[in-house]
Amino acid sequence: MHVLTGAYAVDAIDDQAELRRFERHLRRCQQCAGEVRGMTETAARFGFAASQPAPPGLRDRVLESVAKTRQLPSAANRHRARRPARPSQMPRLGWVVAAVSLVLIFVLQIALLRAHDQLNQVRSRQAALTAVLAAPDARAVTAPTSAGGQATVVYSLRRHSLIVTLAQLPSPPAGKVYELWLLGPHQVRPAGLLPAGNRSRSAPVLVPGLISGDQLGLTVEPAGGTSRPTTTPILVLPLRG
C-alpha cells in the first residue's frame, strides 16, 4: 500500500477495489497521508508552472545556438579520418543524450499541461457545485430508490442545475449502468451516468439544464447509456420551484 501514494496523488489508480483498499489504509497511516498531501501540492504547482510563458527571447537563443553548433567534423578531422583509425563514439553519444533529453523535456511539458488542464477542470467543477449550493433558491430533497439506497438532490432553478449523490445504492447488473434523466412535461433528456465505484456514497454529479417542471429520474440502462429510458425508473423525484 505504501508505494501507491504517488499514483493516488495524481488520480492514477484505475482499479476500484485497489483504490478502496488504499483509501482504507490512508485513514490509518499518517506517513502515507502526509506523502499524499505533499505530492498533491507538488502536482498542483507543476500545473501552475506549465501555464507560465517561456522567457522572452528563448526561441531566438536556442536557434542561434543551433546555428553555431558544428554537426559535421572539421576539415582537419576529415583528413585524419582517411587514415585507418577507430572513430570516437563520444560525439554521437552526446547527440543521442541531447535528443533523449529533448524528448523527455517535451513529454514532461505535455504532462504538465495536462495536469494544468485537469486542475482547471476541477476548479471549474468545484465553482459550479458551489454556485448551486450557495444559490438563494437552493433546495435539498432526499428520497429512496426502488432498488435500495437513497438519493439526495440539491437543486436551483435560478442556476438551472442540480447536484445528485446516492448512498447505499447496489451495484448495477453486469453490463448495465445507472443513468440520470431530466423528466420534463414535454421532453425527456439524458442527464449523465453515475460514476462506477464505491456505492456506499457516490461522488456528486452535477446536472445542468434544469428547467421549471422537470423531475429527476434514475434508470438501469445498457453500458454506455441510452438516449431514451428503456426501463422503468427506480427513482422519480419532483423538483418543485
Cell 430508490, residue located: 145
**Structural contact between residues 36 and 5, judged by C-beta atoms closer than 8 angstroms:** yes
Final residue in a domain of this structure, among 134, 157, 188: 134
Q: Which of 18-22, 66-70, 157-161 tops mean pLDDT? A: 157-161
Domain boundary among 134, 163, 186: 134
Using pLDDT thresholds of 50, 70 and 90, give the confidence band for residue 85.
Answer: very low
**61 and 170 both lie in a single domain:** no
Q: Categorize the per-residue pLDDT at 214 as very low, low, confident or very high, splitting at 50, 70 and 90.
A: very high
pLDDT at 231 over 90: yes
Given a cut of 60, whether residue 47 has pLDDT beyond it is no
My answer on whether 195 and 157 are in the same domain is: yes
One domain for residues 151 and 228: yes
Same domain, 144 and 218: yes
Residues 52, 168: one domain? no
> Is the same domain home to 130 and 144?
no
Is residue 25 domain-shared with residue 123, that is, in the same domain? yes
pLDDT tens profile 136-156: 999 999 999 999 999 999 999
pLDDT band at 12 (very low <50, low <70, confident <90, very high): confident
In the predicted structure, residue 81 carries a pLDDT above the cut 60:
no
pLDDT-derived band at 213 (thresholds 50, 70, 90) equals: very high
Distance CA 47, CA 69 (A): 33
Which pTM was predicted?
A: 0.51
What band does 46 get if pLDDT is binned at 50, 70 and 90? Answer: low
* Owning domain of residue 217: 139-238
Asked if residue 103 and residue 39 are part of one domain, the reply reads yes
CATH code of the domain in which 228 resides: 2.60.40
- Same domain, yes or no: 26 and 69: yes
Task: Report DSSP letters for the chain, one per residue.
Answer: -GGGHHHHHTT----HHHHHHHHHHHHH-HHHHHHHHHHHHHHHHHHHHHTSPPPTTHHHHHHHHHHHS--S--HHHHHHHTSS-PPPSHHHHHHHHHHHHHHHHHHHHHHHHHHHHHHHHHHHHHHHHHHHHT-TT-EEEEEE-TTSSEEEEEEETTTTEEEEEEESPPPPPTTEEEEEEEE-SS-EEEEEEPPSS-SSBPPPEEEE---TT-EEEEEEEETT--SS--S--SEEEE---
Q: Are residues 7 and 122 in the same domain?
A: yes
Nearest one of 51, 61, 4, 57 to 29, comparing CA atoms: 4
Chosen domain end from 134, 150, 181: 134
Check whether 210 has a pLDDT greater than 70: yes
Least confident of 44-48, 134-138, 155-159, 193-197: 44-48
Q: Which of the two residues, 202 and 46, has the higher pLDDT score?
A: 202
pLDDT confidence tier of residue 188, bands split at 50, 70 and 90: very high
For residue 106, the model assigns a pLDDT of 63
User: What confidence score (pLDDT) does residue 237 get?
Assistant: 93
pLDDT at 116: 67
238 - beta bridge partners? Answer: 215
- Is the model more confident about 84 or about 116? 116
Does residue 13 sit in the same domain as residue 70? yes
Most confident of 8-12, 25-29, 97-101: 25-29
Q: Report the share of the chain in percent with pLDDT over 90.
A: 27
Q: What angle do CA 143, 124, 51 make, to 5 degrees?
A: 155
Lowest mean pLDDT among 23-27, 45-49, 84-88, 174-178: 84-88
Same domain, 95 and 187: no
Question: How many domains does the chain contain in total?
Answer: 2
